[in-house]
Each structure stands twice: as C-alpha cells, then as structure tokens.
Structure 1
Amino acid sequence: MKFKNKDDCSSAVIVANGRYPSHERPLSAIANASYLVCCDGAANHFIELGGIPDAIVGDCDSISEENKIRFADRLFPNTEQETNDLTKAVQFCAENGRTDITIVGGTGMREDHTIGNISLLADYEAVANVKMLTNYGVFTPISSNTTFKSFAGEKVSLFAIGQKPVTTTGLKYPIQNRILTNWWQGTLNESLGDSFTIETRGRIIVFQVF
C-alpha cells in the first residue's frame, strides 16, 4: 500500500473501525492521503494490509502489543470515556490544524455504530470541513445555505438534525420551507442537473450516491 509524500498540512484521512472500504473512491482517498490517522480499533487491520499510519488515536485498548511497540512514536492515547475513537481522531486532527478531514471505514458493521458515526458528522462540522466516504456515496454535514456539485440523476438524501426549516433547489422533489421531523422525510431524492442548493439554518447531513 503506497501513499503520496505530499503533505499540505491542512488535510487528513481518518480510517475508522467500520468495514474497510472496497469502492475506488474511499480507497483512492486512502492511497492519496497526505496524512493518515487510524482509529485505535482500525489500526491492526490497516497495518496488516501494508498501511503505515501517521497517527493512531483512541483509548488504545484494541491495538496489538506488537503494534504498540512498533508505532510507539505515533501513538496518541486518549482515555476519555465520553467520546468514541472517531471523535477523538477528529479532535486530534483539528487540534493539529488539519481541518480538511475525510473519514473512511465509518459504516458497514454494527448498525448502531453506523448511525452513531453518521450523526456525529453534524458535530464535527463545527470544527472542521468534514465528509465521510462509504462504498456507496459521500455524507457531508452543513449548517448554512450550501450548493453542491452534482449531475442529473444523482441520488440525494437529506437527514435533519434538529428542527429548522429546509428549502431545496435543483432536486426532483423540492422541499419548501419545511421542517423535517424524521430522518426518512428527506430521503430518496434526485438531482436535476449539475448542482443543487439547500437553504437552512439548521444542521443537515447530505448523502450523495456515487
């Protein structure tokens, strides 16, 4: 597994402890990462695949003793129990000035972990420009009016965190100043062209299918 040496000092890829990706988009993000952080639970598998993380973050109760010794110089234990390892990894990146963050491996295993990790994107948006790549698409959190690049026919879903009015432009099924009270209400929409816009003052997580 090879990585580019370029380091722009502002970006990072985080490998979370979900199912390791198989789609070319998240795999490309890993391969081209200028700085790669493994959550504690993901480190052993990533290293077995030939990867060399720049940092390993978490409570460090899952990483093998062999890898603790081998990567002692890039191990950053955090035993705080009120946050999960993914949140600790995001905080680590943000505190070190890496606020352009791509998360991979955040879904695909236990459903409760998947839902929890996706919902946390709304919190991460306050400290970083963050997105989560899966084997099917990309999750992007927003909290203000945002225009997304798209293509005609792209499948799009919106998930509201909280209850603030939402208006969309450029989607097949428009939403007009509506409060979404359940996650299903903004799902299974479709882009009409090369962009669409979401107007909101609330927190929205947008999913675009590859």
Structure 2
Amino acid sequence: MFPKLGLINVNPPIVSSSCPITLIGGVNPASGTLSEALSIAPLVVAADGGADHAFAAGQKLEAVIGDMDSISETAKGAFKDVLHPIAEQNSTDFDKALRHIDAPLVLGVGFSGARLDHELGSMTVLVRHPERRCVLIGEETIVLLCPPQITLKLPMESAVSLFPMAEVGCESEGLRWPTGGLRFAPDRQIGTLNKVEGEVSLRPDAPKMLLILPRGALGVTVQALLQDGERWPARVG
C-alpha cells in the first residue's frame, strides 16, 4: 500500500465536473494539441493568460482562474462572468487553477514549449497536488504524476521515462530495464530512456515519480487513468 499523505484537499472547487476538463495555460497551444484535448475533455478552464488563447480559438470557458496579471482586457471583457481572481503570489496560475478544479482528470495544454523554468514549475505542481489527476500535453510528449498503479498497452519499443522528483521506488513489468528494488532520486538514480517490451505496469511507492510518454500514448493513458479509480491522497499543507 502507498503511504497516507494526510487530509483531503481543503481548497473549495471553483469548477466541479464528472467529466475530464481541458485546462489552457499561457503558452499558445498548437491547434492540433488543443483539438485533441477537447476531443477528450470538451469542458474548458483557463489559467490566467490562457483565456486569451481560448478567446482566439472561440472557446467557451467554465472559469478563468489566476492572479489576472497576464490576461488581456479583451479576454477579461469576454469572460467577465467567469473570472475567479486569486491574488496570492506564492503559487503559479497553473497551481491556482489545478487545485480549484474537481474532475476525474485534467488535460493541460499551453504549459510547455516556451520557458524551461515555467515547464519545471508546472511539473512541481503535479507533485504538489497528487490527488488531482492531470496530464500535461506537449508537442512530442505527455507528462503526468504516476498514480499508485497504472497498466498501459503501448507499442513495442516505445519510450517510457520515469523521473523522480524526490526519493521513490517503483515496481514495474514490461520494461526493457526493470525498476524493481531501485531507489530513485533526482541526484542519483533516474529512469529515463527505458523501452516497452510488453504490457507495462508501474507501481510507485510514493507520489513522487513523473511518467513521461510519447504524445501518441495520450489516448491509452487517459483510458487507463479513467478506468482505475485508485489515486493518491492529498498532501497536508
């Protein structure tokens, strides 16, 4: 069993949905990326300046969440009825948005492809809110916090990368280089550049492992996440 992390998330949701939600960030997503996310999760939320990309794409928004320092006046006017400003400056707009969305899955677009520091910041948010299932979609890869257990049927020889955000173990099957018995940490053992040799099963022992897969694995990953109800509990604080 995975460790108990504490109480449930105390942030009251701004958006609640029984269906997956697309969350648009401040980097203009490629039209194909946004279209693919919308085909899975047609309800849309924007994180601050992501509202401008939603406006340009003609998208209706359930909410705009953030400190509102990046959104244009045009987008503010267009979405004035669904603006939810959060003034604190101790977290990113992605963090503010994710922690206030209650949904079985969030697909994040517009959070990669620009500044590396912003991408790294987004990855820390995935770990900070392990109870929120979220897949960040890039042009070539997807990244998510590996859940307590996930089984994926991926093409043989597909790339599978595991990157630890803190010390963590991860039992596995179906990988060319097995990970059982290893202790991963950012400054020691990492698990990038592995390959698929069968049905892949991953079981990390803590919510500290990022799973990075080819963009083409999005559909299989979403299906696996929605079929398996087991998720990490929220952190305390």
- TM-score tier after normalising by the smaller chain length: 0.7 to 0.9
Cα separation, 2, equivalents of 1:64 and 1:178: 48
Q: 3-state DSSP class of the match of 2:128?
A: helix
Q: Does the CA contact (< 8 Å) of 2:33 and 2:109 recur in 1?
A: no
Unmatched 5+ residue regions in structure 2? 1-15, 217-237
Cα separation, 1, equivalents of 2:53 and 2:42: 20
How many residue pairs get aligned? The number is 198
| Deviation (angstroms), 1:38 | 0.8
Cα separation, 2, equivalents of 1:102 and 1:89: 12
Deviation beyond 4 Å, 4+ runs, structure 1:
none
Q: 3-state DSSP class of the match of 1:191?
A: strand
CA 163–8 in structure 1, closer or farther in 2 if over 3 Å, else same: closer
Unmatched 5+ residue regions in structure 1? 1-6
Q: State the one-letter code of the partner of 2:127.
A: A
For the pair 1:42 / 2:79, whether they are aligned, the reply is no
| Deviation (angstroms), 1:26 | 4.6
Q: State the one-letter code of the partner of 1:66.
A: T
CA RMSD of aligned residues (A): 2.2
Cα separation, 2, equivalents of 1:156 and 1:26: 23
For the pair 1:123 / 2:132, whether they are aligned, the reply is no
Cα separation, 1, equivalents of 2:40 and 2:183: 39
| Deviation (angstroms), 1:145 | 3.4
Q: Does the CA contact (< 8 Å) of 2:147 and 2:203 recur in 1?
A: no
| Deviation (angstroms), 1:109 | 0.6
Q: Does the CA contact (< 8 Å) of 2:108 and 2:137 recur in 1?
A: yes
| Deviation (angstroms), 1:125 | 2.3
For the pair 1:65 / 2:69, whether they are aligned, the reply is no
Matches within 5 A, 1:150-169: 150-169=154-173
7, 11, 25: which is aligned to 2:20?
Answer: 11
Q: 3-state DSSP class of the match of 2:209?
A: strand
Identity within the alignment, %: 25
| Deviation (angstroms), 1:135 | 1.1
Q: Does the CA contact (< 8 Å) of 2:94 and 2:125 recur in 1?
A: no
TM-score by length of 2: 0.75
Higher relative contact order (CA closer than 8 Å, sequence separation 6+) = 2
Cα separation, 2, equivalents of 1:148 and 1:191: 10
Q: Does the CA contact (< 8 Å) of 1:148 and 1:197 recur in 2?
A: yes
TM-score by length of 1: 0.84
1:87 alignment counterpart: 95
| Deviation (angstroms), 1:201 | 0.9
For the pair 1:176 / 2:180, whether they are aligned, the reply is yes
Q: State the one-letter code of the partner of 1:62.
A: S
